A and B are shown apart, each in its own frame.
Chain A
């Protein structure tokens, strides 16, 4: 039987990992991820979770060791935030390049310098091009559910999955979460038949150097070179769009909850204006949309759940009929604009969709973003010239 608990997203993430029967956990503490690691360590020490818990000496080693464990066929889990995730960066590429079904909970936090322990999404956005699938969550229930889904997706595609949720905003906020029974999760997620190195014949057995040219093996078969393997990873990450979508559908059949697959919509049916965002900020945007409608601006919200692979056609479809698109995001690509805004703009351009398009950077380093601020920025973007801007930067004009 499932049970509703009032828990934080960190507790939900730990519960989810345990329900997925992870076999090896390696993690290094960093605020605000720490409670995930503490919870799991306690579960293992109590004997509630039969797993190896590696208290590694760094995030680089955390990812290196679960990569090692995954290579010999174990189901693995780790979590990190901010500079810890950045310290893993090399190993993130390695995990994806080795085609390992690793799942990582990224508790989103701003990146130093200067230090902040509070939330934005610069950490995970900075890992955009590592070959990982990235899913963003809007509440604690979605965190729990998405981690369970992540193992299905990762093990089906042999692509690692990063489940991202906002630090403190979700990680430390208590809210009701329906925790499914072990039985339900077992039905959804069969044991991982580790397609590791020890089982030969899989291309995960990427043994030593790989040069760019395809080369014949000892039997004379032409084997992929570096570039072919990169191409395959790219194609497979693109193809995972369908897997993410279907996994959410299948999840709904067992658990009765769906999170929209790749993107979710709020009041979009008759919308002329769309607000697009990710994570908890997208949920805040739904309140802004309600207010904008009161002002006479028919507004809806698109929440981007899968950021990589980028759900370009799902977004184009969802936004085909609107007059304006305004993106709000907690990251920036210095020297241009927010990552989501630029990706989305490219997708709309490719599809020939012409809209009035604006993008705003908001809530960096834990700066509180209330619906009213979204309303203010969106109203300006809808009624005036489209632009790239920042929300609530004090002491300077934006």
Chain B
């Protein structure tokens, strides 16, 4: 059953006031709703070096009421495999093991360990919070950064390549559950994590996590930016369960209504796109159109 209203969400907060994330952090909001969906129950989170490490606090104080295991940047998938195996081998039952990594730790340095864990069929949930760059180290380019974005390692020419198709890579592992989400659509995010929790085997959720300092927009626009990404088709909300594809939430609405917003609407509110040329906007629009049409077609076919 889809959650219809925010008041239906569990009231219990697992992240307490005093987190060290930036104000208006898309990751923080993603994590908050994901934890609401993961509890009640026994949860172990494994986290690579990332913004998430900072969010989780500076020893000996943590604002998060969750067993969290830190691991190295490249190791997230393998860490989860080990935790799951260790729990099984020692007869500890009933845990949900969740890996929480950014786009750098997923698309780039962690892709090998992630692929290994998916291929081995590790029974865990992998949540990638995609803030489209190395934000923890100060906004360097990742393979998830959008074309046209200025980052500190693409400072003049902007990023020249389109975003890597991580979903296709994950899907090639034929895992039982894949979903995309956005903290701007918290009910959809909540429902997807709930769904994932009930499935066994590797589950992958990619949440598009807007980053005010990294993308260059006012804190108050966090939700707006996440929504715009969905409305333009740059980020599409869907679920793939056992190979069955379906758009969800706002993307499902757009399937019948059509998209009203353009990439130009999206980029103008973010200073990372301050040098984007008209030609680059056209190319990014084509990228969004192709992606949207591809998912729309899959939605209509149902697979």
Instruction: Name A residues whose Cβ lies closer than 8 Å to a Cβ of B.
Output: 23-24, 26, 51-52, 54-58, 60-62, 64-74, 76, 90-91, 94, 194, 196-198, 206-211, 215-218, 221, 223
Contacts and interface: CB of A to CB of B under 8 A. Distances in A.
Contacts of B83: 68-69, 71-72
A206 B70 contact: yes
23 contacts: A23-B89, A24-B86, A24-B89, A26-B78, A51-B89, A54-B82, A56-B116, A57-B112, A60-B74, A60-B75, A64-B71, A68-B81, A69-B82, A69-B85, A70-B82, A71-B83, A72-B90, A91-B72, A194-B90, A207-B56, A207-B57, A209-B56, A209-B57
Interface string B177-200: 000000000000000000000000
B60 A67 contact: no
B79 A68 contact: yes
A52 B74 CA distance: 22
Contacts, number: 157
A51 B85 CA distance: 9
A60 B78 CA distance: 8
A55 B67 CA distance: 26
A218 to B, nearest CB: 6
A197 B47 CA distance: 14
Contacts of A221: 60
Contacts of B120: 54-56
B89 A215 contact: no
Contacts of B116: 56-58, 61
B61 A52 contact: no
Interface in B36-74: 44, 46-47, 53-54, 56-62, 67-72, 74
Given A54-B85, A64-B75, A69-B83, A207 B70 contact: yes
Top 10 A-B residue pairs of the complex, sorted by shortest distance between their CB atoms = A68-B82, A69-B86, A65-B82, A61-B78, A64-B75, A57-B116, A23-B89, A64-B78, A74-B86, A52-B85
A69 B88 CA distance: 9
B59 A211 contact: yes
Contact of A67 (B58, B68, B82): B82
Given A24-B86, A91-B75, A58 B113 contact: yes
Contacts of A196: 86
B21 interface: no
B88 A52 contact: yes
